[in-house]
């Protein structure tokens, strides 16, 4: 009996790309005749014609399952839905914008056949501006220093997960997710595949600088308590500095500004951790499915 591989495709407003993405993937899958395939296409509340195009594709290819969320719940929720609905022995994630070449599928499967449970796509080059590249590299450097897990610099969400890894990922109850961090935290035998990330050819990306910062927050506050520890030691240091100010009679005004700034920063950081706790204790689902097409439990 052939093993099945799930190709999961998260998308949002990709009417210009979704059909082309499907056709390009199909050309690649013809080189992997020893496997069965299914498509899980998750539409994250698109407002264009993406949903209609997905339904047209399903009529042509019954291997395609359409999962339509009730609104845009963000990229982490879309990724979670992809892995939740996939049933394959391995799951390959490939977004619909064609920035990550479908040819990667062959390389991912080859690594899987060699015994790797997790295969991560690492992009060496991107078309992003220098500021965005700097922020990304700085984040991964900083994240590696403050967390207890190792996420490779320029690690993408594109890759392959073995069935047991997907099951482990789906079993995690947390809602405030940083997928790249969770993928590393789970463990298992891991390989990487380097590639050049392409420039988007059609459509407009919905991801902006604010989204990058929010994504970084998920990683920092979801995987590290080092900042809280640092605030504790800062507090001790401020107490000593305060005594010094009193002894040598520095400006009281300067002392108040200094201490107030540190306190404001500390409270803000604590607030972020409280935000994570609140999100988890609400126990709301990460996403709501409005409709499924051609999917049977």
CA angle, 268 as apex, 264 and 270 as ends, to 5°? 120
Q: How far is CA 257 from CA 207, 251, 263, 264, 265, in A?
A: 37, 10, 10, 10, 12
Residue with tokens 């979801």: 222
* Burial (CB count <10 Å: 0-12, 13-18, 19+), residue 158: buried
pLDDT at 252: 62
Give the Cα separation of 51 and 227 in Å (integer). Answer: 43
- Residue 29's SS3 state is helix
pLDDT at 156: 79
Q: Residue 22: which of 72, 68, 45, 56 has the closest Cα?
A: 56
Boundaries of every domain in the chain: 4-204+286-293, 222-282
Give the Cα separation of 226 and 31 in Å (integer). Answer: 47
The CATH homologous superfamily to which domain 4-204+286-293 belongs is Spore Coat Polysaccharide Biosynthesis Protein SpsA; Chain A (3.90.550.10)
Question: Sheet of 190-196: strands edge to edge?
Answer: 190-196, 118-125, 155-162, 90-93, 4-11, 36-43, 64-69, 289-293
pLDDT at 132: 67
pTM: 0.73
pLDDT at 167: 93
User: Could you list the pLDDT tens digit for every one of the 297 residues in the chain?
Assistant: 788 999 999 998 888 889 889 999 999 998 888 899 999 999 998 888 999 999 999 999 999 999 999 998 888 888 889 899 999 999 999 888 888 888 999 999 999 999 999 998 888 766 666 766 677 777 777 777 666 677 777 777 889 999 999 999 898 887 777 788 788 888 889 898 888 877 766 545 555 556 666 666 666 666 666 666 666 666 666 666 666 665 555 566 656 666 666 666 677 677 767 766 766 677 778 888 888 888 876
């Amino acid at each position: 009996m052939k093993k099945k591989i799930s190709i999961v495709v998260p998308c949002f407003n990709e009417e210009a790309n979704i059909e082309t993405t499907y056709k390009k993937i199909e050309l690649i899958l013809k080189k992997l005749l020893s496997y069965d395939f299914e498509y899980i296409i998750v539409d994250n509340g698109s407002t264009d014609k993406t949903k209609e195009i997905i339904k047209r594709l399903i009529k042509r290819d019954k291997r395609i399952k359409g999962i339509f969320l009730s609104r845009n719940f963000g990229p982490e929720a879309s990724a979670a839905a992809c892995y939740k609905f996939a049933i394959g022995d391995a799951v390959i994630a490939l977004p619909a914008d064609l920035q990550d070449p479908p040819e990667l599928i062959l390389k991912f499967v080859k690594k899987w056949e060699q015994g790797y449970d997790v295969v991560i796509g690492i992009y060496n080059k991107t078309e992003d501006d220098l500021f965005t590249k700097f922020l990304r590299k700085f984040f991964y450097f900083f994240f590696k220093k403050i967390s207890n897990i190792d996420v490779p610099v320029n690690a993408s969400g594109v890759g392959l997960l073995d069935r047991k890894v997907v099951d482990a990922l789906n079993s995690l109850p947390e809602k405030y997710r940083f997928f790249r961090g969770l993928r590393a935290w789970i463990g298992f035998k891991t390989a990487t595949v380097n590639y050049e990330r392409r420039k988007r050819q059609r459509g407009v990306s919905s991801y902006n600088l604010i989204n990058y910062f929010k994504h970084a927050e998920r990683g920092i506050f979801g995987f590290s308590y080092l900042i809280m520890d640092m605030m504790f030691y800062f507090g001790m240091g401020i107490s000593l500095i305060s005594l010094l100010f009193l002894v040598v009679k520095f400006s009281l005004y300067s002392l108040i500004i200094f201490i107030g700034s540190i306190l404001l920063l500390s409270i803000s950081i604590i607030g972020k951790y409280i935000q994570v706790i609140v999100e988890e204790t609400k126990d709301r689902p990460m996403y709501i499915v409005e409709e499924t097409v051609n999917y049977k439990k």
